[in-house]
Structure 1
Amino acid sequence: MTTHPGHDDVKAAAERIAGVTRTVPVVPAGPAAAGGAEVHFALDFLQHSGSFKDRGAANFVAAHKEAGTLPEAGVVIASGGNAGLACAWAAAAQGVRATVFVPTTAPKVKVDRLRALGADVREAGREYAEALAASRLFAAESGALASHAYDDPYVAAGAGTLLEEILTALPGLDTVIVAVGGGGLFTGTAIAAHHHGVRVVAVEPETCRALNAAVEAGRPVDVPVDSVAADSLGARRASEMALHWARRAGAVSVLVPDASITEARRSLWTDHHLAVEHAAATALAALRTGAYRPGPGERVAVVLCGANTDPATLGQSRSDGL
């Protein structure tokens, strides 16, 4: 596979993970979602590990198993939680060991689930970037296969299978709205969207804007990480793949404040009985704030990407750990 995966890689991923991951349910958001537009929610938080990350993890492990490149030491990944959960789930399904490095700020609900999936969980630093450095050292010393939460062609191609499924449920889709951290979901989505002529809206918190800053600078750059959604969207810089596909797909990049993310998450619970994490609500916040304004009759899919959250925090302003 090339550094920048393409639509053929997404199709190959769909074949590898067919029957392994769950087909995404797509449901109408209701008349209050956006005036004049036809808005639907893509509920990919219903994957086995609670987020879209299952797609990339399943493709990564299956591809390396096909190639005979899964070592005895298993796989290692750094994660704020969701990518680690997906990696642990995919590795367990193949009988492979998984070691997951998390920052000390990772939500307890995610750490507890990682251990329940049989992962060897190790804490390192307060940010994802510090956990990543520790995971790379572990890979070098142990011989474990290093996966990546978002900057891997197999992971991105696996994520792209989501839009293919959305299009099956919603023929004639005009726009897909996704939250962006380091850019794995965005990259895969942009690949498939570009192939099918669908607009991509990339949404980030104002204080956690790796892709937006990369587009602005013309190259990936480090950004501060401080957001209510940082446990999932807290990458310090976007991947080269994400920037490449942001340009090629002509993606719309928008920012939303933390307060709107919190309110969108609360509304998903109170109005739709959907308990999701702040990263998932970030995509919806783009519509609620008007950061992205769809036209009358525009057919829009909002990706609700993850639900590994503590339900007790649904009425609170911040989650249990950034």
Structure 2
Amino acid sequence: MTEQKIPLTPVPPLRRIYRSDVRAARRRLTGRIRKTPVFHTAVPGPSGPVPVTLKLEYLQHGGTFKVRGSYNALLSERVCPEHVVIASGGNAGIAAALAAAGMGKTCTVVVPESAPHTKVAAMWSHGAEVRWHGTTYAEAYDHACEITAERGALQLHAYDLPAVVAGAGVIELEIEEQVRGRPPILVAVGGGGLIGGIAAAGGRRREIVGVEPEGIPTLNSALAAGKPVDVEISSITADALGASRIGEIALDVARRYGVRSALVTDDVITDARDYLWREFRIVVELAGAVALAAILSGAYVPREGERPVVVLCGANTELPVL
């Protein structure tokens, strides 16, 4: 009996992201997003005050950097369907709903059962249909794929879509105009859309450091293994940084340009958020304070004379938890 070989489905080649993609995204986003401000200050490190520049990206529309990527993805489509679908634990869904509404389209967000009510309410406020499915992002994503096929919709990915990554990278181009020299940039990492875009824009021109909760080390584990690997999710930041593995695009950029990872504990993340409120009356969600936690804890120590840029990336939280 002749053995029948099952044909393998070809794996599409990785679509690499470069500075040129980020520059094109910036042109598309003109008039759609805010150029968020920076704030020069000093924060306490283990050995004394550390000069830093805070990039106040939490002031972006929708309270999240992800709006940049969602708008860029929609604007990149030559013929964009009237309906948009995305799976999200929170901020990506808010961003997709906001961008879809801004372009006169409808949006469905599939969220896991653990999605915070605050973020679901924000999706509703922008007119999105919200569906709960499964207990993990992966289960929600599978259901989003089904809805996309049924409706002939455009499906966005929360962090591993070229246009989404390029849109996030516009933050780096703004920092170039706002801050002298090329200081390091510290960025929180979940699925990697933010750090992938910022590193693609900066290239080898500057150091980019990904800061991750110890309980969700997606970038750290992938850099060690040389490929994306699944990690256990165990962190208070899971609603925003809850991807179980780094995106292919982000890891490619990180390896090309020497991005490195710093790990911080949940306790330090909480301290960093409390510090921002106590000292500056800045309200961010826990994920928004992750990059600053690396400075406060000493997980990242700037070189002599450096003033690193710390991206505060999101503010979708409930005020009573502060």
Query: Structure 2 CA distance, aligned partners of 1:228 and 1:123?
Result: 21
AA paired with 1:44? Answer: E
Is 2:295 aligned against 1:282? no
Q: Deviations over 1:211-263 (max 9, x none)?
A: 11111111101111121111110001111111111111111211111111111
CA contact (8 A) 2:96 2:107 kept: yes
Matched, 1:11 2:23: yes
Structure 1 residues 241 and 230, CA gap change in structure 2 (3 angstroms): same
Aligned to 2:309, the other structure's residue is in SS state strand
**Residue of structure 1 in register with 2:175 after alignment:** 166
Partners of 1:132 and 1:301 lie apart in 2 by 33
Conservation of the 8 A alpha-carbon contact between 2:42 and 2:50: no
Number of the residue aligned with 1:121: 130
Question: 210, 224, 233: which one pairs with 2:218?
Answer: 210
Q: TM-score, normalised by structure 1?
A: 0.93
Which position in structure 2 is the counterpart of 1:93?
Answer: 102
The Cα shift of 1:295 comes to 1.5
Q: Are 1:134 and 2:134 counterparts?
A: no
1:271 paired residue among 273, 276, 279? 279
Answer with 1 or 2: which has the greater Rg. 2
Using the alignment, how far apart are the partners of 2:176 and 2:261 within structure 1? 22
Q: Does 1:59 align with 2:72?
A: yes
Correspondence for 2:266:
258
Per the alignment, residue 47 of structure 1 pairs with 60
How far apart, CA to CA, are the structure 2 residues paired with 1:194 and 1:132? 31
Structure 2 unpaired stretches of 5+: 1-12
Shift of 1:32: 3.6
CA RMSD in angstroms comes to 1.5
**Distance apart, 1:83 and its partner CA:** 0.7
Deviation, structure 1 residue 31: 5.3
* Structure 1 residue 111: Cα displacement: 0.5
Match of 2:81 in 1: 71
Q: Deviations over 1:17-55 (max 9, x none)?
A: 012100010001335468465311000111111110011
| Aligned mates of 2:99, 2:299 — CA distance in 1 | 36
Please give the secondary structure, in 2, of the residue aligned with 1:299. Answer: coil
Distance 1:40 1:22 in 2: 18
Task: Check conservation: 1:260, 1:289, Cα contact below 8 A.
Answer: yes
SS in 2 for 1:275: coil
Structure 2 match to 1:228: 236
Partner of 2:307: 299
The alignment-based identity, stated in percent, is 48
**Residues 1:219 and 1:2: Cα distance change in structure 2 (over 3 Å):** closer
| 2:159 alignment partner, one of 142, 150, 170 | 150
Partner of 2:10: none
Cα deviation digits, residues 259-302 of structure 1 (max 9, x gap): 11111111111111110001111111111111110012102100
TM-score normalised over the length of structure 2: 0.93
Q: Does 1:191 find its partner at 2:200?
A: yes
Cα deviations across residues 97-156 of structure 1 (Å, max 9, x unaligned)? 110011111111100111111000011122212211111111122211110000000000
Do 1:50 and 1:308's aligned partners in 2 also have CA atoms closer than 8 Å?
yes
Partners in 2 of 1:202 and 1:176 — Cα distance? 9
Matched to 2:312, the amino acid is L
Provide the secondary structure at the position in 2 that maps to 1:30: strand
Q: Which moved further from structure 2: 176-185 or 246-255?
A: 246-255
Unpaired stretches in structure 1, ≥5 consecutive residues? 315-322
Q: CA deviation at 1:192?
A: 1.2
Aligned length: 309
Kept after mapping to 1: 8 A contact 2:43/2:296: no
Detail structure 1 runs of 4+ shifted over 4 Å in the superposition: 33-37
